[in-house]
Amino acid sequence: MGSVRQNLIRSFLVISVLPFIVPVVCADDGYRMWLRYEQVQDAGLLAAYRNAISQVVIEESSPTMLAVKDELEMGLEGLLGRPVAFSTHITGSGALVAGTPSGSPLVASLGLEGRIEVLGADGFLIDQVTVSGNSAVVIAAASDIGVLYGAFHLLRLLQTHQSLSSLPVSSSPRVMHRVVNHWDNIRRLVERGYAGLSLWEWGTLPEYRHPRYTDYARLNASLGINGAAINNVNADARFLTGQFLEKIAVLADIFRPWGIKVYLSANFDSPRIIGGLDTADPLDPQVIEWWNKKAEEIYSYIPDLGGFLVKADSEGQPGPHGYGRDHADGANMLARAVKPFGGIVMWRAFVYDPGRTDRFREAWDEFVPLDGKFMDNVIVQVKNGPIDFQPREPFSPLFGALTNTNTMMEFQVTQEYFGFGIHLAYKGPMYTEILNADTYAAGEGSTVGMILEGKVFDYNLTGMAGVINPGTDRNWTGQPFVQSSWYAFGRLAWDHTLSAEALADEWLRMTFTNDDRFIGTVKEIMFRSREAAVNYRNPLGLTHLYAQGHHYGPAPWTEHHHRPDWGAVYYHRADEQGIGFDRTASGSNAVEQYHEPVASVFRDIERVPEDLLLWFHHVSWDHPMRSGRTLWDELVHKYYEGVKTVRWMQDAWDSVGEFIDRERYEHVRALLKIQERDALRWRNSCVLYFGSFSGKPLPEGLEPPEHDLEHYMDLERIIYVPDPWYGW
């Protein structure tokens, strides 16, 4: 974090000559993300914090406790605007004590064991205590990692200007495996990444330990993330060879003190590709033996590898089907190989074959018959919706259907379907919409979040994964607000009951400023941004109208003859009568995959939520909507509303420029301009194209599209696609 010290010195100089409360706006390139640790500007709070914490007492010296020490040192010095003394014993009032009862006699003497035990290994407690007449704040946990999470939480309280009188706080994670997934390739191009090259420098590892690796681990650990699958699920088998394992082992060493385990995406055909066998049949003894040996070798490099992540029999990736076997055969073979080392297998359920009736149905149809057949160190990783990370999908019906198979969530943080590294689209509300959805799998209250937590079915492994996009861009994510979705994902993986609003608030305070004038406006921008993204692309339950391949601009006209489910017309099914995909009994009947009463609600055109309408019904253009408009008019209005919101976002952002640094202000401002251009193109393309079916005019009072449909169809070929991985 090279610029931290410089910024601190600058802030200190300004603060020492001016009275408190003068906004200090320093240059910021976004590198520090939400761990900025700028000095607290509120004079009263600053004094209270300085009073409460004037020294830090840490008795333990494990690598993780050294990480705790480093983080507290940097964080407190920044926030309090002065160095804080570190020692192994209390010298007076105002101590911050951090440790575990088993490693710190001081923490053990506080009699907190009972309160700590109930929090589990990763949980923490922060409280005010008195030690020999001195008041102190204690961060206590059963493990060093728990202390680390507590330290980050305390720093977050200070960063967001919380009063310490709200102590005690205690917290523990609701799921076990809180994992980020990288879609990074050996060539360092990041699939759907949009923020530079892969963070992992294969050319200089294992010798060079780029400082960014540690900062990456800190950022994730601050959220409670405890796993990172470092390579693309479209996996290159060479990652499993010694040449790369040696490099990956160094990453694992760097991440370990921060509580982050490395996972590897494994290519199912590795025994053939790098092993010299002529089959990868999961029941073939030679193949089994190959994987057992391979696991042994991998664990000799990385003794605490988390395990494998596998995309099999999906979009051209090899898998057990190629050998006449099923997903359970494939997953269990790998699970047996890693079991002796404590590893697990995250087996993805993102599967769909060409030519079946309805892509929506396929994951459920393939996995439900296998329920109960997976080993207990397998966890099936399911995308939030039945299709593919679209701006709005109903929850995947697999949540609630796998009663005897560990099931985890896969969210996407990177903006594959949300405008890449350019558009502003905070995904927090999308995540909570899914997590809070009630599946009714075991009666009312069986929300997706409760299922993930293992509260509905008896899962022995629980987890949540997020596909993140950091790359070599100085601010890690390209569009700065992608950081907010990463933040929200990580915090929700810790506790799915948190609200997207509270998380936006926290993130803004930590990432930009605590000035309420800024927070109020920008929180609203964030909140409206997701719905805008839905509205200008695919409102009312339309989906996947993207140009195929890169998924940036609109191409609702695309037909794919070999893979109909890779063309947009497959999804919207517009004709002269109406639009939408009939998934009721008269169509694919995918609604039957949901429990009651969800199935009945989705199947009923009068009761289905309107924002999911066209996911489940082919609806006549004249269908009356709740607004009193016809479906056609409503659809067009939604498209126009999307653009209007983006224009509002631009104005709102302009109005708060004075509260933050120029760099990030101007960056976002420029990106919003591009977003407006793109939103217009989406709106005009879709309205003109669908109008060619409905034959209806634009509702009165709306500005007509500037060009005709042919013009917008041409743009699909002409306009540069900002994604080096895709290759334009």
**Nearest distance from C-beta of residue 384 to ligand BDP, angstroms:** 12
Q: Extract long-range pairs of 322-326: CB within 8 Å, 24+ residues apart.
A: 322/269, 322/280, 323/279, 323/280, 323/281, 323/282, 323/283, 323/284, 324/281, 325/281, 325/282, 325/283, 326/370, 326/373
- Which residue, 263 or 494, has its beta carbon nearer to ligand BDP? 263
Q: Provide the minimum distance between the beta carbon of 267 and ligand BDP in the complex, in angstroms, as a whole number.
A: 13
Shortest spacing between CB 552 and ligand BDP, in angstroms:
12
| Angle, vertex CA 512, rays to CA 643 and CA 65, nearest 5 | 130
Provide the total of helices (H) and of strands (E) in the chain, helices listed first.
23, 16
Catalytic option among 388, 473, 633, 634 = 388
Contact yes or no for 219/33 (Cβ under 8 A): yes
- The nearest distance, CB 180 to ligand BDP, in angstroms, is 14
Determine contact, residues 94/55, Cβ cutoff 8 Å. Answer: yes
Beta bridge mates, 579: 619
- 430's CB contacts (< 8 A; 6+ apart) are 384, 391, 392, 530
Q: How far apart are CA 249 and CA 242, in angstroms?
A: 10
* Catalytic, out of 122, 329, 410, 416: 416
Residue 80 burial (10 A CB sphere; 0-12, 13-18, 19+): buried
Residue 388 falls in the annotated catalytic set? yes
| Sites of contact with ligand BDP (CB under 6 A) | 191-192, 233-234, 311, 315, 350, 388-389, 416
Residue 155 CA to residue 350 CA, distance in Å, equals: 38
Q: Cβ of residue 230: shortest distance to ligand BDP, in angstroms?
A: 16
Q: Is 365 labeled as catalytic in the residue annotation? A: no
Q: How far is the CB of 386 from ligand BDP (least distance, A)?
A: 13
Identity of the residue, 412 or 477, whose beta carbon is nearer to ligand BDP in the bound complex = 412
Q: What are phi and psi for residue 692, nearest 5 degrees?
A: -70, -15
CB of 182 to ligand BDP, least distance (A): 12
Exactly one of 315, 651, 654, 703 is catalytic; which is it?
A: 315
Backbone angles phi, psi at 385, to 5 degrees: -120, 170
Residue closer to ligand BDP (CB basis): 31 or 566: 566
Q: What is the 3-state secondary structure (H, E, C) of 70-83?
A: HHHHHHHHHHHCCC
315 is catalytic: yes
Q: Which helix (H) or strand (E) holds 531?
A: helix 516-537
Q: Which residue is nearest to ligand BDP (CB)?
A: 388
Pairing state of beta strands 169-171 and 124-131?
antiparallel
CA pair distance 199, 216, nearest whole angstrom:
9
Residue number with CB closer to ligand BDP (265 or 675): 265
The DSSP bridge pattern shows strands 378-383 and 85-87 to be: unpaired
Between residues 304 and 315, which has the closer beta carbon with respect to ligand BDP? Answer: 315
Backbone phi and psi for residue 519, each to the nearest 5 degrees, phi listed first: -60, -50
Q: State the greatest distance between any 2 C-alpha atoms of the chain, in Å, as a whole number.
A: 82
DSSP alpha helix (H) spans, 238-303:
242-255, 270-273, 285-301
d(CA 591, CA 614): 13
For residue 74, count other CB atoms closer than 10 A to its CB: 18
Output the smallest distance, CB 613 to ligand BDP, in A.
23
Q: How far is it, in rounded angstroms, from Cα 302 to Cα 297?
A: 9
CB of 674 to ligand BDP, least distance (A): 22
Say if residue 207 is exposed, middle or buried (CB neighbours under 10 Å; 0-12, 13-18, 19+).
exposed
Residues involved in catalysis: 315, 388, 416
